A and B are shown apart, each in its own frame.
Chain A
Amino acid sequence: MLFPTATFAIFFLLVLPLSWLTMPWPHRWRPSIVAASYVFYSWWDWRFIFLLAGCTLWNQVLAVRIWRTQDQTRRKALVFLALSGNLAVLGYFKYYDFFVNSTDDLLSVVGLDVPLGLRSIVLPVGISFYTFMAISYVVDAYRGEFQPTTLEKFAVYLSFFPHLVAGPIVRPAELIPQFDTPRNPRRVDTSRAFYLIATGLFKKVVIANYLASSIVDDVFGAPGQHSSLEILIAVYAYAVQIYADFSGYTDIAIGVALLLGFNFPQNFDSPYAAVSVQDFWRRWHMTLSRWLRDYVYIPLGGNRGRRPILTYRNLLLTMLIGGLWHGAAWTFVVWGGLHGTALVWERFWRERRGPDAEPASAWHRWRARLLTFHFVCLAWIFFRADSFGAAWDMIQGLLTGWGESSPLVTTGVLLAIAAGIASQYLPARIPRLVMARFSRLPVLGQATVLALALMVTSVMGPEGVAPFIYFQF
């Protein structure tokens, strides 16, 4: 079930009153919200609800055992078992064919021809997201940072439909305590929720889909047939497309959760206004960034190593794993590697230069923003391209086809890119002002504004609904 569909609208109009009406009785609310979430998930493929249920049981049983066990060796064994189970399922569904293919390629390089079995495995939607949330739960229990809750509450935490298929990756300590605190049905931040849902829909349905169909798909599909200008604009367009697509989804998810009375963490904070790659990761997919920090970077040693080289290694490894999380392909690993290398370089530079390394003046900050944006765009080429050959064709095409005609570079495309980038620099007070004004409108006024927003989005969007890019991750 996709957010921008009539099916979801009907589903949500049923779930919204059901959730608020049953909320005073948690033992009724929890099973009903789990049931609703499972219906939402089963819309893609009903068989995968067993996977989700299995993941819930496995992690709940082990987290409770870990929490209750005193013996440190046994606790370690249990957490290892829990992580192995989670990673095995993720590995099977997401990486099986990738590893088999890569092994086959490697063996053939050394002249060995070993027949390896490939399977047609369908990737369950959102598996990477809920597996990461389950890992958070178990590891936090192991670290003594979060006491495992009841199976019912954990099932709600893992399957709660607003975040189920594409995040944000919510930590147990952020969401589970909200299930214990009664939500106040008289104080719902509806204006923020509606603002997020309406802008999220516009970003996804209009901006992302328009750029994809107008230039990105054509140019990335056959870069050799396009001029350098078209390739350059397509790369910028993809940067805006992926931002509009993913942040649009997150905005809708946060808005939907708000209407149900729950707060999700922020996931994007104007990433293309970043002044460094480090700053970019503070603003892009923030919940994944901190997950990687807490469950990969720190266990690897973080920045505790005596020698800086160990910190650099940890940074690089974390970003390589982050790249692989996005997809089972070497192009994603290279994307992660590029970001990791840039983070290492920035850290090295700052350690050498100290405070001088920071952009001090406004001019330096703008230069840093421009450089960071272009580095991020360069890395996006590997993220979007379906092979190294295609990525290389794009990079080569950027240099060799200047002066050729560029029919795909239209005013509409340039305006959409400009709007996407300009939105990063919108002062936070403007949306706050819009939300405040909206919140003071009467019921009919609010409904009219929303209906008009829906109409404009519907007219300007393409026919049909394209899936969100991050669903495949």
Chain B
Amino acid sequence: MPDDQLPPLPPLPDEETRTIEQAVPPAVEDAPRRRARDEQGPRRRLWSAGHALIVSMLALAFGLLLNAPGIHKSAYNKSDGWQRDIALAITGPLADVSHALLLDRPRKAVQAAVGRSGADDIDTDIGLAATPPPATAPPTGKAKPTPNSRDKPAFSPDRKLRLWVAGDSLVITPGFAVIRASGASPAIEAVGGVDGRIATGLTRPDVFNWFDEIRSRVKELRPKVVVLGFGANDDKAYMTGLPKGTSIDAFGGSLWRREYARRVGGLMDVINRAGGFVVWIGLPQTKSSEQTQRFDVVNAVVQKEAQKRPGRAAFVDTYTMFAGENGGYAQFLPDGSGRLRKLRADDGVHFEREGGDMIAREVLKVMNKRFDLTSWRKTAGTRERR
């Protein structure tokens, strides 16, 4: 039934039930006339419910063929398991049929028109050496002593330290907090915003290839500090982009750890080679104790890789930072004045704004240890006095 055939709504009983906004006459008095004029026009043909079902099914079937390359990529990107196997078994032949009938061409044409050519390609090449080269400063077991202020590279408002943030969804809130906090220092310049991508990580370059992204963004933005946060979606026994002939075992097993370490270390090296210092935000405890245990495994790998690169990478431990009174997960924690603050989101994993601020303070501490961001003030003060 078209809307113009609907029975009118029950009339309002008296003047006091007019809407708040109807309490005075409408501002535009010609609106009803205009609307009535607009509503004139060709009438719609009404169809049967069966027609609606057939059109819906045909549209979806045709839509599946038109979008087959994208749907196949989505199936490929699913978490490993029987659902992915079934999805791949269906979408693989679908993509072949679509290609054979040239039905993938319109999608490619639209992609080209909006500058997204190649968006359906499945790229699992992470571009790292199968056997990682030893870190340039081999681990000695002892951390390099913190450089004193004279050794630290100095930055000033004239020569700003460029900072970039990237990672999965867990880095978004702390990333913005870091950018806000760094805004207080004229010696720091945030570049490229926060490149936070939901449901991505280092184990699935097919879902999103962070290795390519970081390589190109580091080249483009030339950051001196790169704040990273990965791992929340990597706690699974499945990886794509493995070197030929390599396999991994269960999550947390020695082969899994070795491969994950290769990726973490490789990413740190990419940034280091471009002259950047890595600040890696570790994974926090979560509401789920099983997930917390898995995050612990990821943290151990990342922390070890950071320790191998003293002066070039640092690990920010959020695991203990957000521990409650009993050492476990806590959504609320006391602030400096002892009042409880909500630091973790309701999902039990992500951070609230104040949680992000806490991490940002730690990140800035690490940056201040590594770089001289304040001595320019003394020089400027001396110049002013002169």
Contact = CB atoms under 8 A, between A and B. Distances in A.
Interface of A: 9, 12-13, 16-17, 20, 97, 101, 104-105, 108, 113, 116, 118, 120-123, 145, 173-174, 184-194, 217-218, 221-222, 224-225, 259, 261, 263, 265, 275-276, 278-279, 281-282, 289-290, 292-294, 297-298, 302-304, 311, 315, 318, 343, 347, 350, 358-359, 365, 368, 386-387, 390, 408, 427-429, 432-433, 435-437, 439-440, 443-444, 446-448, 450-452, 454-456, 458-460, 463-464
A137 to B, nearest CB: 15
13 contacts: A20-B50, A116-B340, A221-B176, A225-B180, A263-B6, A265-B9, A282-B22, A294-B17, A365-B28, A432-B41, A432-B42, A451-B59, A452-B106
B129 interface: no
Given A101-B342, A439-B44, 5 more contacts: A120-B346, A190-B52, A278-B23, A368-B27, A459-B107
Contacts of A298: 16-17
Nearest to A122: B346
Interface string B22-33: 111111110000
9 smallest CB-CB distances across A and B, nearest first, come from A221-B176, A447-B58, A450-B59, A428-B38, A451-B62, A436-B42, A224-B183, A222-B179, A454-B63
Interface of A is mostly: helix
Given A16-B53, A459-B116, A443 B44 contact: no
A187 B46 contact: yes
Contact of B114 (A350, A365, A460): A460
Contacts of A101: 340, 342
B193 interface: yes
Given A192-B3, A218-B194, A303 B45 contact: no
Contacts of B29: 358
A118 B58 CA distance: 52
- With a 10 A CB-CB cut-off, give which of A185, A263, A451 has the most chain B CB atoms: A451
B55 A184 contact: no
Nearest to B110: A459
Contacts, number: 245
Contacts of A120: 287, 331-332, 346, 348
Nearest to B184: A224
Contact of A455 (B56, B106, B190): B106
B44 A436 contact: yes
Contacts of B60: 9, 13, 451, 454
Interface of B: 1-3, 6, 9-10, 13, 16-29, 35, 37-60, 62-63, 66-67, 70, 106-107, 110-111, 114, 116, 119, 172, 175-176, 179-180, 183, 190, 193-194, 198-199, 208, 287, 331-332, 337-340, 342, 346-348, 353
Nearest to A219: B193
Contact of B27 (A191, A275, A440, A459): A275
B44 A192 contact: yes
Contact of B47 (A123, A188, A429, A455): A188
B52 A259 contact: yes
Contacts of B67: 454-455, 458
B342 A97 contact: yes
B383 to A, nearest CB: 25
Nearest to B337: A108
Given A184-B1, A224-B180, A108 B339 contact: yes
B342 A289 contact: no
Given A189-B1, A222-B179, A455-B67, A281 B59 contact: no
